[in-house]
Structure 1
Amino acid sequence: MGNVGQFFQPPLYWQEFEELCSGLLTEVYDVPNAQQVGRPGQAQYGVDVFGKSPRFGRIGIQCKRLSDLDKNNNPYPGGPITRKFLRDAADEALGFKPDLDMWILATTARRDIKVQGWVEEINEEWEQAGRNRVAIVWTWDECISHLNSYPELQCRYYRDVIQVRAPKDLDDIILRTIAMAFARPAFEVPLHCETSSDFLNALKDTQKALRTGELVDRESRQVIRKAIGGYRELDDAFVRKGLGQIDAHLKLLRKQLEQGRKDGTIASVGDFLDIRQPALARYLDELRQRCLDDLNYILRHAGIPSD
C-alpha cells in the first residue's frame, strides 16, 4: 500500500524549532534523554540539543532556523548557510564536552548540494585528524522525511496540520504503520523464495510493528516509522480484536518455523527455503495468507485502501 507524505512548514519561532529538533533526536536516533542545552537559544559550543544514543553515541545538534523566506513562505535553498558558517559552527562544536560522536546542523533551509559537499569536506578532515566524530546536516527536507516516518511527532508538533482531533485519527496512523509492516517479501513472494532466517526475521519485525508501532528497515535495522503505540492502543474494539488474532497467527507461524528448523523439516538450500513436508508447506502458506486476508478486511473496515 502506497503512502503519500505530508508537507510541513518550518516552525515560526526558533524556540519551537529547537523543541522539534529535540523530539526528532529522541525518535530518529533512539535518544531517551534528549534535552536542550541550557535555556532555549543558550547554546554551548554550538550545541543546542544533546543526548546519548545506545547505538550512535553522544549526539549534539545546532539548530538554525532561517528567516529568509521566498514568496511561498519556504526557506530559500541554502539560505545564509555558507561554507564559512558551516565550518565555523563545526569547529565550535569541537569544544563541547563530553566529546560528541555525531554533530548535526539542523536547519530550516532546503536541501542544497553545495552544503552536502562541504559536510563531506569536514568529515574527511576529521577522519584524517583521527577524530571519532561525524558531521551531518538536517535540512528541512530531512526534517519533513523524519516527521512523515514518526506520526507521534506529527501529533505533538503539528496536531492542527494533520487534524488529529479524535481517536479515529490516531487509529488511522497506527493502522497505516501496521499495513506498511506487512508490505514485505515475506508476505508477497512464494515461501520457497525466502531463507528460513530471513522469513523468521520478517515475522519478528512484523509482529514488533503490530505490537509496538515500531517498523524497522530489513537491512539497516534502523527504525523507519514509528506510530503511537501498537494495536492494543487502538480505540476501535473490532479492529483491536482482529489485529490480536493476526498477532496470534504470526506467533504460530514463528513457532512452526522454529520447530521445523529444529527437527529438520524446514531448512535453507542455498538462498531458498526448503519445506520438506508438503502438508506443512500448505499449512504455513494458508496461515500467512490468513494474516493478509484478515488485515485487508480490517483496513477496509477502517476505510483505508488495501491491496
Structure 2
Amino acid sequence: MQQNDQLSPGYGYEPPVFDRSTIPESLQLTNGERYSVRGLFGRGGFSTVYRAYQRITQDPHINLLSLHSSGKLINPPRGCSEDVIITEPCGPSIRDIMTRASMDAGYGQMATFSISDIKQIGRQIGEALFHLEKLQIYHLDIKAANVTFTNTNVKYKVDSNSTIPIITMSELQIKLIDYGNSMSHWAPGTARPMLAQPQNSRAPEVFMAIFTHQSGASQNEKQQSQFEYMVSTMNATIPEEMIEMSRHGRRCQLNFDFLKNRQENNNQDLLMNLMREDTDLPLFEFLKFVLIFNPTQRPSFEEVLNHEFLTNF
C-alpha cells in the first residue's frame, strides 16, 4: 500500500489515448481498505481496470487471475459504479505487446510471436481453461486482450529483418483474465440469462441461437456477415441437426440461404491461407483439430492439451 496519494508516472502499457484526469488518486472501500491508484490498465465494455498497490493472495491456478477482494467504493471515479473487484496485478496483454511491437516495426505488418512461443503460451491457456472446466466454468471471452503476461515489467524485442516482425519476450509466463462474460455450466434446458460471448469471439452455435437468450440477436447484418465469413474460413459443412436446433423457438436471426450458393472453389478466405510460411503448418493443423464447427464433435480440453502441437516443444 502506498503511504501517500502521489500518482506514479503511469503504466507503460496504458491505452494510448485517454483522459488521465479521470484517474483517481486512490480508491477506498466501505470495509476500510484503501488502494493507491498507479495507472489505468484498461477499459472493457462493462468495467474500468486500474493498477493499484495491493496484497496478493495465493493463486488458485498459476495461469488464472486470482481474486484479492471485492466490495463497494466510498469514492467511485466519475462514470463508475460503487462496485469494485480487486485482483492481483498483471503485466501487458498479448494484444498490448503485439500493438506496441507493430508500432516499433513501423506498422508494415502486425508483429507476431514465433511458433515456439505460441506453443508455450497456448499450453498455458489450455491449462487455465482445463482448470476452469474442472470448476464447471465457461470463460467465454478468450482473446489476445484477455491473456496477460505475469511480470508487470516484462520486456520484448522485435526482429524486423524477417518477412513478418517476430516478437521475442523476456519471459512467457501468462495469466488468463477478465471473467466478465464467464458463466457456470448449466443443466440442459435451462434458459440463458444473457447472450453469451462478444461477437468477435462468438462460437457458431451462439450465432445460430442454440446457445443464447430468449430476446434474440442484435445487429443482424453484422452477425450474418461474420457468420458467413466463419463458415467460409473453416470451409465448414453445417450439420443439418444444428440448423434444425437453431430454428427452435425462432430465436435465430441468421439466413442460411447463402449455403445453397456457396462457391466451393473460392478458397480466398480459407484458414490455411493465413500461414506465414511452411514451418507454420503444425500450428494450423492444430487449429483445424480444435476449430470444429459442431460442438458435439470438438475435442475436450484434455485432448487439446495432449495434442502434439502443445506437447512437442
- TM-score, reference length from structure 2: 0.31
Q: Which has the higher helix share?
A: 1
Structure with higher Rg: it is 1
